[in-house]
Amino acid sequence: GLDIAPLLKTTGAVTYDPGFMNTANAKSAITYIDGDEGILRYRGYPIEQLAEHSNFLEVSYLLIYGELPAQEQLDAFDNVTRRHTLLHEELKGFFGGFPRDAHPMPVLSSAVSALSTFYQDSLDPFDDEHVERSTYRLLAKVPTIASYAYKKSIGQPMLYPDNNLDLVENFLRGCFGVPAEQYELDPDLVNALDTLLILHADHEQNCSTSTVRLVGSSQANMFASISAGINALFGPAHGGANEAVLKMLRQIQAGDVSPEAFMEKVKNKEDGVRLMGFGHRVYKNYDPRARVVKGIADDILAKLGGDDELFEIAQRLEQKALEDDYFIERRLYPNVDFYTGLIYKAMGFPEKMFTVLFALGRLPGWIAQWREMMRDPATKIGRPRQLYVGAPERIYPGV
């Protein structure tokens, strides 16, 4: 029943590639991944060096503008993002309209979409000045929106951002501070979160980034495109894996099943059980981000006293997997999500916030990719073809 004649008339050839496994949709100079070797670089810089020596603001600049900033450029970038953290009071009012138990991800995407209505002066995707304004408005306001979404979900009043603080500090205070009380920032926690955001800042043409590009290819503005990306990240197959890891660890902790017995279930593919936080579509080697995350997990859990038992179960699972032929043959290694959930939990974030933290980190990548696409003369509106497998022509009854 496959009729490809109409397709061949217009294109001469057609590829059928579900999931775009073998289709490059863009030329990009932003992020390089070699999955076989376990290499990830932003603008040529290895992720390990950026995680150790840079910070999230500088990495955001690097991804968006292509070069590391000189000190005065970084200062100006810091200044402009600090001064745009406030939300319009009427946008703040939106938060009252969502149900009390709303998941913070759709709240985040709705508020980002609504930015199009509040900043109608910065919507022209081809005007460099407008694009600059949208860039710093997003970088500054998304952490505020994210902390408001969190406060909403726990029924606490929202805190206005404090411009003496940087983006990450403001976000932590916005989540965990309470009005009229001094919030003591813990530098170890700030640094750990900053590094985790760097690790998530871009990952070339993943599902949410491709969504940002596809929506933007219709010349939709940056707020509309990135709101769509947030919705793509909301899906459990993309942004929800660290929540799934925690759930798996809890099941092992609560049930009679030992880590060893659980591994047998995974290897026998009983009920389709997988070792969550293991394996990756692109990395067929140790995910370079996972190594950095493991180091942070050691430090933060030792300091904040996270759930030692869950951490121990996770380490036992990892150890078993790294020694087991099933995992070795299939080249399955821990991915970035294996330990992040445990760290976020120790920091005090509920599971619903994990994907929001991912979105905060991925934001500069989405912005950089949207800008690169808009400037690329080769960009065309995204419009895949299909293979029609439905009914042939039919006659409407009575005709």
Residue ranges in contact with ligand ACO by CB under 6 A: 238, 241, 266, 274-281, 330, 332, 335-337
Strand partners, 46: 41
- Nearest approach, Cβ of residue 285 and ligand ACO (Å): 13
Asked if 308 is an active-site residue, the reply is no
> Token pair of 34, please?
């070699």
Strand partners, 257: none
Edge-first strand order for the sheet with 45-46 is 31-34, 39-42, 45-46
Asked if 280 is an active-site residue, the reply is yes
| CA separation for the pair 158, 147 (Å, rounded) | 8
314, 338 in Cβ contact below 8 A? yes
- Nearest approach, Cβ of residue 260 and ligand ACO (Å): 15
- Nearest approach, Cβ of residue 308 and ligand ACO (Å): 23
233, 390 in Cβ contact below 8 A? no
Q: Which is nearer to ligand ACO, 124 or 264 (CB)?
A: 264
- Nearest approach, Cβ of residue 336 and ligand ACO (Å): 5
Q: Which is nearer to ligand ACO, 43 or 289 (CB)?
A: 289
| CA separation for the pair 98, 153 (Å, rounded) | 9
268-299 burial: b if 16+ Cβ within 10 Å, else e? eeeeeeebbbbbbeebbebbbbbbbbbebbee
State residue 232 phi and psi, 5-degree precision. Answer: -65, -40
> Token pair of 104, please?
């913070």
Annotated catalytic residue, options 188, 280, 324, 325: 280
Give the Å distances, CA to CA, from 156 to 47, 140, 147, 152, 178: 37, 22, 11, 6, 8
Which amino acid would we find at residue 349?
F
Q: Which is nearer to ligand ACO, 281 or 385 (CB)?
A: 281
Q: Where are the extended beta strands (E) located within the chain?
A: 31-34, 39-42, 45-46
Q: Which residue's Cβ has the minimum distance to ligand ACO?
A: 279
- Nearest approach, Cβ of residue 397 and ligand ACO (Å): 45
Annotated catalytic residue, options 194, 202, 287, 337: 337
- Nearest approach, Cβ of residue 24 and ligand ACO (Å): 18
Q: Which is nearer to ligand ACO, 246 or 336 (CB)?
A: 336
- Nearest approach, Cβ of residue 249 and ligand ACO (Å): 13
167, 318 in Cβ contact below 8 A? no
| CA separation for the pair 205, 26 (Å, rounded) | 8
Smallest CA-to-CA distance from 343 within 394, 390, 292 is with 292
Give the Å distances, CA to CA, from 371 to 108, 180, 214: 21, 40, 13
Smallest CA-to-CA distance from 336 within 267, 276, 265 is with 276
Residues taking part in catalysis: 280, 337
